[in-house]
Structure 1
Amino acid sequence: MSNKNNSRREFLKKTSLGGLGTALGVSVAIPTLASLNTDEHSVSAEKLRVKPRYHRWHVNQGAEWLEKNTGHANLDWNIPVSQCALVLLDVWSKHYLKEPEDRAEKIINEKYIPLLKKCRESGMTIIHAPSPEVAVKHSNWVKLISEAELFPVRDTWPPKEFRGLNGAYKAFKRPFEPREVEIQAMVKPHQFHPIAAPVNNEAVIATGEELHRYCKQKGILFLFFAGFNTNACMITRDYGALQMNTRGYQVSVLRDCTTGMENKETQAKLLQTNGALLFFEMFGQYTVTSDEIINGFSEKA
């Protein structure tokens, strides 16, 4: 086998977490309470049973190595609730485009209400990540980062003028949209959606580093993401699903609790939303549904 193919195999092992064992028919070991590090954090007796879905980069025995012969597979997790958190990412009260706002409203009203109720009753940690400017104004902001870390000084390269596409670099800037002022008037100030706003002492975080520090403080290893938009903040935020998986957490996106921003070519079939979810499933993250979480809690010991 060529070095190129060997490199690809190694890449798939690293990015399709758990996929290799399933593809080869080998049982994938699920951590037990005894195997988890409990030195610093107590681990609850209550468990959460979910079957995270991922994209299986492999084909069945005897099948040709074609993309159309790959597909979804599921793991089977039975994990301590004390090591889990539901992260509500950028669940704001409004959007400037009608369709994503309507889709989000439907999701929030139909999915978030029962999900949040069950998670709160079952003692799962709920963390709100509403963007730095919203987080720092809320009384539940955990304040685990300094002001210097919240507004870090950038490196001198690329030059400040280039980063802002000003001066000699102005020609590379996208054209000014005359309705941008109108957009900002419609969406700002960003606010928590009233149905998904923090209650009691639920944590509010401002950055990915702060989310990491909070999880370390609480002993959280498994993050379940709900929020908006699938193909934007869920991917690009430093507290988003992709970045937190890169930090080492096991990350699952609730595929029925998110929606993306579409355009006229993609809207009918929600291709941007579904493509973003497939991206997560292909490259190390997972997806689950809100019903899986609601029905996955064990009885408290």
Structure 2
Amino acid sequence: MLKIFMTAVFLIAALPLSVLAEPIELSLRSQQETKAGSGRYHQTVHAETWQPEQTALILCDVWDSHTCQNAVLRLEQIVPRLNEVVQQARANGVTIIHAPSGCMDNYADHKARQRAATLAKVEQIPEEINKWCYQIPAEEAGVYPIDQTDGGNDDTPEQKSKWIKQLNAEGRNPKRPWKKEHPGIEIDAEQDFISDRGDEVWSILESRGIKNVMIAGVHTNMCVLGRPFGLRQMARNGKNAVLIRDLTDTMYNPASAPYVSHFTGTDLIISHIERFVCPTISSDQLIGGVPVRFENDKRPHLVMVIAEDEYDTAESLPPYAKEELGKDFRVSYAFAAEEDRNLIPGIEKLKEADIALISVRRRVLPKDDMQIVRDYVASGKPVVGIRTASHAFYIKKAPPEGYGDWETFDQDVFGGNYHNHYKNDLKSSVRIAQDVEHPILKGIDRSLIFPQGWSLYKVMPLAEGTTPLMFAKIEGYPEEPVAWTFKRKDGGRSFYTSLGNVDDFKQPAFRTMLKNGLHWAVEKSVPDSEVQ
């Protein structure tokens, strides 16, 4: 009996890792246009199972130094978790390819480099596989989201000067200071490969029957996308490529368009990749735990839920967010489905949101989705509503089977009392409250009066606990509040405005008020702005 057992143990031990390894279960995130030409995208997730022996992990330019000190500091935060991913992937039978571009001479005697350099080239080598790839055809449908023409270095001038001196003192060329891969990444001389050549990397993949490629490293907008072994080349030549989105960084300077935070710049590039190049995954899918978040990334996660057809907020809110909120918030969207008005793909993002903005008109949701909304509100997190959010989840009749509504959403969440609106041809003028000191009114001229973009809502009386901040009046009719705060029973902060027509977004006072309201709701200091 012992002999049979020992024989079984020996046979199992002799099996290659690829036979023993568990399949890799992944959730691939990508983005699909809500309808052709809309410019709006649903974020979608689909499950795939990858076999380890058919999978490679490429580490792109995880250098030991860089021309930009801030880039080095951010990379230091990624490296420990990236090394964990490498170790786990290798143990599971995934092929590891280290690709520190321009450093091959320093690895000439390394077994992992020799293994790559001496491997016979496969017969079918893609055209231009050894060249930088600047764009693939799919990207022609989009607009590249950031300006990186200045090189993306976000060091301050003083910091840059000190960094150059330090690089010189270390005997490094300040223009090309990298010499090897970061020492925090373990290279297994007996199993791994080292290469920065497209034909070598391609031959490694093909000779091993590898169909799936995960790429991590820096920098997403430059090397990770464009190198001969980068995402574009992998995707256009038929590999199942994914970016590990939390183990990467961009070279983006916030002093360049679109003038957002460095981290928002990274988000914009990842979004571009998910739309036009390939899906993304996060490191927790490979080793558990939580994805990496940079220490200096303090942005609250704002989820905009947009599902209304009358006031075009699907057109006005995304550019507004990019122009006004990109420095201070991480913004995600959940848009209504084109084929079913009562579906909002991406509503589950509320589970990870720090703040929600609701722009929805008379929709009911599948019960599980409606519960996501209810759970979010019950958590005490802040809610901001504009225009039709007062009647977001009520359709004046019983919802269809399997769907849920929230008839008292206005009263429960905003302390409101929407019960109709005045005729559209009755024009109203908006004034700012004179006797209220509130951060949401910061930077707004109290004497200002401006026209409301569309019909005036009837909302009086408001609930106890509300603080009106703006009012509007039609000549000959009672004045109505058009913006107020509310402290909910669950303790959460809410801010609501019945403004929000496209013409309102042209009013500087409205734009400032909405930005201030978002900051106030999430308890961030309201930024300074010019008096409007």
Report which stretch shifted further, 187-196 or 135-144. Answer: 135-144
Higher share in helix:
1
Q: Does 1:102 align with 2:73?
A: yes
Mapping for residues 212-291 of structure 1, pairs under 5 Å: 212-265=202-255, 266=259, 268-291=261-284
Q: Does 1:198 align with 2:187?
A: yes
2:310 alignment counterpart: none
Contact 2:252 2:262 in 1 (8 A): no
Q: Distance in 2 between matches of 1:133 and 1:117?
A: 22
Q: Give the superposition deviation at 1:276.
A: 2.0
Which of the residues 55, 58, 61 maps onto 2:34?
Answer: 58
Contact 2:104 2:195 in 1 (8 A): no
Larger Rg: 2
1:35 alignment counterpart: none
Which of the residues 17, 22, 25 maps onto 1:49?
Answer: 25
Q: Give the superposition deviation at 1:85.
A: 1.0
Which of the residues 126, 129, 139 maps onto 2:96?
Answer: 126
**Secondary structure, in 3 states, of the residue corresponding to 2:249?**
coil
Contact 1:252 1:285 in 2 (8 A): yes
Which of the residues 26, 29, 44 maps onto 1:73?
Answer: 44
Report which stretch shifted further, 203-212 or 124-133. Answer: 124-133
Q: Give the superposition deviation at 1:133.
A: 4.0
Q: Give the superposition deviation at 1:145.
A: 7.1
Q: Which has the higher contact order (CA 8 A, sep 6+)?
A: 1
Contact 2:65 2:178 in 1 (8 A): no
CA deviation string 1:56-84 (max 9, x = no partner): 1235xxxx97334x221012101211101
User: What letter is aligned with 1:185?
Assistant: N
The runs of at least 4 aligned residues of structure 1 exceeding 4 Å deviation read 181-184
Q: Distance in 2 between matches of 1:253 and 1:222?
A: 11
Contact 1:208 1:244 in 2 (8 A): no
Mapping for residues 145-164 of structure 1, pairs under 5 Å: none
Distance 1:185 1:145, change over 3 A: farther
Contact 1:231 1:272 in 2 (8 A): no
Q: Give the superposition deviation at 1:190.
A: 2.1
TM-score of the superposed pair, with normalisation by structure 1: 0.65
Q: Give the superposition deviation at 1:264.
A: 2.7
**Which stretches in structure 2 are left out of the alignment for 5+ residues?**
1-16, 131-149, 151-160, 290-532
TM-score of the superposed pair, with normalisation by structure 2: 0.38
Contact 2:66 2:178 in 1 (8 A): no
User: What letter is aligned with 2:181?
Assistant: F
User: What letter is aligned with 2:282?
Assistant: T
Q: Distance in 2 between matches of 1:283 and 1:44?
A: 34
Higher share in strand:
2
CA deviation string 1:103-128 (max 9, x = no partner): 1111112x213212321322221111
Contact 2:254 2:262 in 1 (8 A): no
Q: Distance in 2 between matches of 1:75 and 1:138?
A: 43
Q: Distance in 2 between matches of 1:47 and 1:126?
A: 17
Q: Distance in 1 between matches of 2:241 and 2:18?
A: 19
1:34 alignment counterpart: none
Q: Distance in 2 between matches of 1:246 and 1:138?
A: 33
Q: Distance in 2 between matches of 1:43 and 1:115?
A: 17
**Which stretches in structure 1 are left out of the alignment for 5+ residues?**
1-41, 155-173, 297-301
